[in-house]
Structure 1
Amino acid sequence: MTDLRFEVAQKIVGLRRVFAHHPAFLRLEEQFRLLLERRRAELAADISLEARGIAVIGASGSGKTSAVARLLSHTPGLVIHDDGSARADVVSFQVPSPATLKFVGQTALEATGYPMFARRTEMVIWAMVRQHLFARRTLFLHLDEAQDLLRHQTPSALQSVVRTLKSLMQAKDWPVGLILSGTPELKDLLNHDPQLARRFYPIEFPKLFATADATRVMETISAYASRVNLSVSSNLNDDFSARLIHASDGEFGLLIEIVISAAEEALLARKDHLDHLHFSWHFVVVRGVSTL
């Protein structure tokens, strides 16, 4: 049994590495590559124009974080932050909590590879962030969970956040593009300032709908099952897909997690096919409900 569990665990690790393409990802990829090539062209021409940003918006479980990770790891020629390299085309970090501008600046500074040991003021910290982004030739700064920049902020603090974001994109010597990923609250942050909103291209990861997405979900189930040599039972059909969409609250990333969990149960049971009972197991054991 131990050998079986290890073998199944290896297969599930492989499944988790599979990236399920989403229409929103294709839009994200297209927009990012457009901005990237535009920035590279400006550098080649030795001109410095205001940068632009992308706002990746979706509910928890929508798959937006995985999409950004995939984008950054699979864009040809993109140099990601590496302690062994002076150059970092993209620097990425998660917005800390509490998301005070000073704490966010400290986190950004650490993400560039320059941890701060002495106490500094908020203004000095962000000046250091801009200096290090220039030193590393960083083209884009990615902030995950960016909606937290909005939460629990006083009006004056929120204005400081907006000014800081704009200053990064407007810097005369080295403008930096921004990728903000977060929940739908992120739209409130962008809409707080019309100038900020105009600098961002929104990419939304919408909910799935049974009427429009059931067939695509069924194709996704089949694709994941085939990766681990499982056939798909006839009781997994468009009607089942519609129920699965409802059970995952229409969130694509969460739906993928359920599919992987069901595949794991089928493999542990030594089955050669995937059926609705394996999905039911997920809801009984993992979620504590009686049925899908």
Structure 2
Amino acid sequence: MTVPNALATIRAGLRPADLDVVATMERVKATYFATPTHGAVEKQLNVVLQQLLERRDPALPVGPDNVVEARGFVLSGQARAGKSRALSEVFRGHPSLPGYGDARADCPLVTVVPQGACTLGRFGQDVFEQLGLPIVNVPTGKNYELKLAHMIRNRLKIRGIKILHVDEAHHVTEPANKTEIKKIINMFKYLMIYLDWPVAVILSGIPELVSAIRNDPQLSGRMAFTAATGLVPKTDYRRIEHVVGELASVAELSIASGELAAVVPRLIHAGNRQLGRSIEITYDAIRSALTERQTALSLHTFARAYVQSRGVAPEHNPFVARDWRLTDPLLVLEKPPKQRLLRAQKVKRASLATDDDFDEEDEA
């Protein structure tokens, strides 16, 4: 049976101008900016790789009786801090991890993303599927967790995987999974200490992940901890200014210095002081400008894009409100009071127009 080519069908239905936007956004999103988190991850990864090569007795060859337990590290940070991007870029660029992300390559590191609320059995299925070895019958009954841990370890060994990266690992700490947390943590420990094939474990997720690991001294003692810190306007202003300018340049858009000065502090706030979210908002603004066939980014471009993605009234739009520091960057689909409904509708119409349609009244 031939599988329909859905992407070819979609591409055939788009206009040439739409495909130009696609090509430009691909270039924009492929542009990466190394951050302090990137450097910290590189250092932690090198330590993990070094430890995998260490022997108990340097005079003897590597073998089940002459290896040490594997170690790992935890990268934690708020949502949209840029953790996953930093990790993937470090992994892709490391010469010891050739072909990372390509299922056909023999890369010794694999990334698994738990699919929502995660029990040990569900996590096992996710690992098997990522390794290209799906399994239908997950062990059940007494000591099923030990049997499943053996199966996961065997699958990793068959594929030559020595480092298991679990992204969005905080899913194992969600309230619905409290009874499973200990089992999953024990599985991580088993992978690291089983000397026939010790596997290093890298975990990334939001700060709640750290609390769960901290509660198990045996696992936390085998892990190093790194935090992806948020943006600080005073110290990160120039960095975000550079990011916006570079992304605009890649998209062949200009942005005046005065507009850039107005955008950057509002962008940091709108992104909840998280790098990843701030860059995503910039993507939205660039796409909006390209769609409207504009040649420059402006504060109004960011304001329009923010309305389109968040659906908020002007007084809650950081790029429009005069008291933008008081706006809530996590607010979506705010319903304005009746007396402001007509005004909100006007701003919504303006969000679909060109920058010239924004006036001082809308910015109030």
TM-score, length-scaled by structure 1? 0.91
| Gap regions ≥5 residues in structure 2 | 1-13, 320-364
Counterpart for residue 10 of structure 1: 23
Distance 2:302 2:103 in 1: 43
SS of 2:257's equivalent in the other structure is coil
Counterpart for residue 98 of structure 1: 117
Distance 1:51 1:203 in 2: 18
- Pairing 1:165-184 to 2, within 5 Å after superposition: 165-184=188-207
Counterpart for residue 140 of structure 1: 163
SS of 2:203's equivalent in the other structure is strand
Counterpart for residue 344 of structure 2: none
Q: How far does residue 271 in structure 1 lie from its aligned partner after superposition? A: 2.7
Counterpart for residue 266 of structure 1: 289
Say if 1:56 and 1:204, in contact at 8 Å, map to a contact too.
yes
Q: How large is the RMSD of aligned CA atoms in angstroms?
A: 2.3
Say if 1:72 and 1:78, in contact at 8 Å, map to a contact too.
yes
Q: Which moved more, 1:215-224 or 1:199-208?
A: 199-208
Provide, for residues 93-131 of structure 1, a one-character-per-residue CA deviation record: whole Å limited to 9, x for no partner.
111333111221222222222211334233322211111
Distance 2:238 2:44 in 1: 27
Distance 2:295 2:101 in 1: 42
Structure with bigger RCO (C-alpha 8 Å, 6+ apart): 1
Q: How far does residue 4 in structure 1 lie from its aligned partner after superposition? A: 2.4
Say if 1:207 and 1:251, in contact at 8 Å, map to a contact too.
yes
Distance 2:165 2:296 in 1: 41
SS of 1:231's equivalent in the other structure is coil
1:252 aligns with 2:261: no
1:189 aligns with 2:202: no
Give the percent of matched residue pairs that are identical in Structure 1 and Structure 2. Answer: 27
Distance 1:154 1:284, change over 3 A: closer
Matched residue type, 1:188: S
Matched residue type, 1:57: S
1:66 aligns with 2:79: no
Counterpart for residue 348 of structure 2: none
Distance 1:278 1:70 in 2: 29
- Corresponding residue to 1:52 among 71, 90, 94: 71
Larger Rg: 2
- Pairing 1:1-292 to 2, within 5 Å after superposition: 2-40=15-53, 42=55, 45-46=61-62, 47-79=66-98, 80=100, 83-84=103-104, 87-121=106-140, 122=144, 123-152=146-175, 157-289=180-312, 290=314, 291=317, 292=319
Distance 2:303 2:218 in 1: 49
Q: Which moved more, 1:242-251 or 1:225-234?
A: 225-234
Distance 1:226 1:200, change over 3 A: same
Matched residue type, 1:117: V
Q: How far does residue 187 in structure 1 lie from its aligned partner after superposition? A: 0.8
Distance 1:25 1:135, change over 3 A: same
SS of 1:178's equivalent in the other structure is strand
Distance 2:134 2:67 in 1: 28
Distance 1:254 1:21 in 2: 16
Say if 2:231 and 2:268, in contact at 8 Å, map to a contact too.
yes
Provide, for residues 5-24 of structure 1, a one-character-per-residue CA deviation record: whole Å limited to 9, x for no partner.
32122101211122222211
Q: How far does residue 38 in structure 1 lie from its aligned partner after superposition? A: 3.5
| Gap regions ≥5 residues in structure 1 | none
TM-score, length-scaled by structure 2? 0.74
Say if 1:147 and 1:182, in contact at 8 Å, map to a contact too.
yes
